[in-house]
Chain A
Amino acid sequence: MMEMLSEVVAIFSRWNKKLVRQPILIFFNLIQPLVWFLLFTQAFSAIGSIQGFKDLTGTSSYITFFTAAVIIQTIASSALNTGIGVVNDFGSGFMDKMRVAPINKSSILFGRLFSSALTTVVQVAIILVIGLALGVNIASGILGVLVIFVLAAFFGMAWSGISLFVALNTKNAETTLSIGLLTTFPLLFLSASVMPLGLLPSWVQEVAKVNPFTYIAEAFQSLIIKGFVWQNITNSLIAILIVGVISLGASILLFRRKIS
């Protein structure tokens, strides 16, 4: 157990070093969420004054409401890179080097996942700072921000499982990237992250109710707009747990099978 911990720490700090040395990667993922944050919210700011919007959300500022969607986009975009890093390791021969070493195979994945989670938190922090500059208030205060970070880290790891799974199956960076991008946007629009659930057409509502993005978004929205709504936080944790168990479970099983 202690051995595995030191392995995870070694691999975790390896990825952190790689990232710090190419800081551009941190911002690269942020470009798309930022475009949405800065432009989409301006063009669609009238949504905030739609009848019923304030009753459903607790705010008439669309940008405040939309901050949750930007955070989710940031998390999803960051999660994409988890798989791509692993694909690169397969290509460069570094993966074989790790496999030949007497380490627990899961350490390779956990080290990567924890580093991704840290990256996600840094990126979400940048988004929140920009949000503050744009006039977004966080009702739940500093503690709420910490909860947002924790949820972002956990959801980031759970969502990374999907990109890991694709990466391990295809060992191809382009496929991993495009599958990630193709799933993020439809899921975002079929959830309560760009519109409150009550304003969505009924068929979209049905889809949104089984879409994990909805529960994550509602947790972020309530933390930003209202304060601590424990029901929403609990729901998001359940959603994260379900996604995480499935995606990471499948990835770990696949990884163990592929490399043993």
Chain B
Amino acid sequence: MSEDIVVVENLSKTYGKQVVAVDGISFEVKKGEIFGFLGPNGAGKSTTIKILTTLLEKTSGKATIDGLDVDVDQSKVRRIIGYSSQEVGVDDDLTARENLMLQCSFHHIPKEKAKAKVTELLQTIRLAEAADRRLRTFSGGMRKRLDLASSLVSDPKILFLDEPTTGLDPQSRQDIWDYIIKLNRQGMTIFLTTQYMEEADRLSSRLCIVDQGRIVAEGTPNELKAKIGADKITVRFKSADQAVCQKAKELLSKIEGIDAVGQCGDGLISENGLNIMTKNGSTLVTQVVRILDGAGIDVEQLNLSAPTLDEVFLKLTGKTLNVVERKESVGSRGMMGRRR
């Protein structure tokens, strides 16, 4: 119990009478971990993070941060959390330093201490040189880094990040990831929502997959991938002869540890090939090659791939994440944010 910093029990949020945004979810976040909340647009991620950060009142259920109820002990909760919203809550008319100093004054940090803290943070996020420039000239990545830093001025016990890299270019995304990992190594507990499989996979020590306000799966990225139960070995033969492929299929099916061999040509365009599903692909690859070689079947190409969270999500919800549509809507929001 003592190592859980966030405890959520049967949490629900209903807008009006009809719209159920969060539908009775329960989970715990352990101290020191990066906890991911992965799901598509409208899954209830932002609603959940807003309830945990005291921005939104829950309809029912229980949610505590470090033992403090998010509704009852609002002001105490606010003293121990940091929050970085999807919208990037920085003031474009101010400089980077002024933005951070303003956050310090919101947290009642004495001026001298604040100055030192801000200088240190600006160094860490590599904005020391741009510190006294107004944000109008900043790139999306710079603004996001500043936003992250501004949620850290009070040395929070836990940091809440709502889609930290949505709408960022790959380099900026990598920067943010590196920064998040660095913070976590220094002991910061992080709760992040994301709609990117790769992000959840790379960053989170544990994650929940959410869809339509419910948690559909929970575990470490590897545990979740293991639920799919398989690595995938794809073999492509030099010969286009169907008989060769059938023979290979027969031989490979006999190998112990192979769960399934697909149909010839399955998933391959105008090529003779096979998909092989197994629990431990890496150890079986050599055996596959040896057996095919022994039978005189020439292999043109062989791929071993681990299942991705994409496949987990697909299996659990029967659909893929529609990231493209999401990107567009974020783009227009970003423009609105800058138009001040």
- A: residues with CB less than 8 A from B are 3, 6-7, 9-10, 14, 17-18, 21-22, 88, 91-103, 259-260
> Which of A3, A18, A22 gathers most chain B CB within 10 Å?
A18
Nearest opposing residue in chain A for B92, CB measure: A92
Tell me whether A93 and B85 are in contact (CB under 8 A): yes
Closest to B93 in A: A18
Interface stretch of the complex, out of B12-20, B97-105, B215-223: B97-105
Given contacts A100-B54, A102-B78, A260-B74, 17 further A-B contacts (CB under 8 A): A7-B106, A14-B91, A14-B102, A17-B94, A18-B94, A21-B134, A88-B340, A91-B336, A96-B55, A96-B85, A97-B89, A97-B103, A97-B150, A100-B81, A102-B75, A103-B106, A259-B55
A-B contact count (CB 8 A): 79
B247, CB-defined interface residue at 8 Å: no
**A100 with B134: in contact, given A17-B94, A91-B336, A93-B87 (CB under 8 Å)?**
no
Contact A96 B83 (CB under 8 A): yes
- B89 touching A260 by the CB < 8 A rule? no
Residue pairs across A and B with Cβ atoms less than 8 A apart, 22 shown, are A3-B108, A6-B105, A7-B105, A7-B106, A17-B94, A18-B93, A92-B87, A92-B88, A92-B91, A92-B92, A93-B88, A95-B89, A96-B89, A97-B85, A100-B53, A100-B78, A101-B103, A101-B106, A102-B75, A102-B107, A260-B57, A260-B74
Q: In this complex, what residue of B is CB-closest to A90?
A: B87
A173 to chain B, nearest CB (A): 10
Cβ contact within 8 Å between B94 and A14: yes
Question: B62 to chain A: closest CB distance in Å?
Answer: 19
SS class of chain A's interface: helix, strand, loop or mixed?
Answer: helix
Q: Which residues of B contact A (CB under 8 A)?
A: 53-55, 57, 74-75, 78-79, 81, 83, 85-94, 98, 102-103, 105-108, 134, 150-151, 336-337, 340
* A9 to B108 alpha-carbon distance, docked (Å): 12
Q: How far is the CA of A145 from the CA of B304 in the complex (A)?
A: 83
Q: Are A22 and B83 in contact (CB under 8 A)?
A: no
CB distance from A64 to the nearest CB of B (A): 38
> Which chain A residue shows the least CB distance to B81?
A100
**A22 with B93: CB separation less than 8 A:** yes
Complex CA distance for A14 and B92, rounded to whole angstroms: 11
| Residues of chain B within 8 A of A96, CB atoms compared | 55, 83, 85, 87, 89
Contact partner of B337 (CB less than 8 A), chosen from A7, A22, A92, is: A92
Which residue on chain B has the smallest CB distance to residue A20? B93
Contacts of A95 in B (CB 8 A): 89
Shortest distance from the beta carbon of B320 to any chain A beta carbon, whole Å: 29
Contact check, A100 vs B83: say whether CB atoms are below 8 A apart.
yes
A92 vs B136: C-alpha distance in the bound complex, in angstroms?
13
> For residue B75, which residues in chain A have a CB less than 8 angstroms away from its CB?
102
The 7 closest A-B pairs by CB, nearest first: A93-B87, A97-B89, A93-B89, A101-B106, A10-B105, A18-B93, A102-B78
Q: Which of A92, A98, A99, A100 contacts B340 (CB 8 A)?
A: A92
Task: Please state if B134 and A99 are interface contacts (CB–CB under 8 Å).
Answer: no
Residues of A within 8 A of B86 (CB): 93
* Residues of A close to B102: CB separation below 8 A: 10, 14
A93 to B84 Cα, complex, angstroms:
9
A72 to B55, CA, bound (A): 38
Q: How far is the CA of A140 from the CA of B74 in the complex (A)?
A: 52
Give the complex CA separation of A17 and B134 in angstroms.
11
In the complex, which residues of chain A have a beta carbon less than 8 angstroms from the beta carbon of B78? 100-102
Docked-complex contact A94 and B54, CB < 8 angstroms: no
Nearest residue, chain B, Cβ from A9 = B105
How distant is the Cα of A105 from the Cα of B50 in the complex, in angstroms? 17
Contacts of B89 in A (CB 8 A): 92-97
Question: Are A102's CB and B83's CB within 8 A?
Answer: no
Nearest B residue to A94, CB-CB: B89
Contact residues in A for B151 (Cβ distance below 8 Å): 97, 100
**Least CB separation from B87: chain A residue:** A93
Give Cα distance in the complex from A96 to B83, angstroms. 9
Q: Is the CB of B106 within 8 A of A102?
A: yes
Complex contacts, A99 vs chain B, CB 8 Å = 54-55
A94, B107: Cβ atoms closer than 8 Å: no
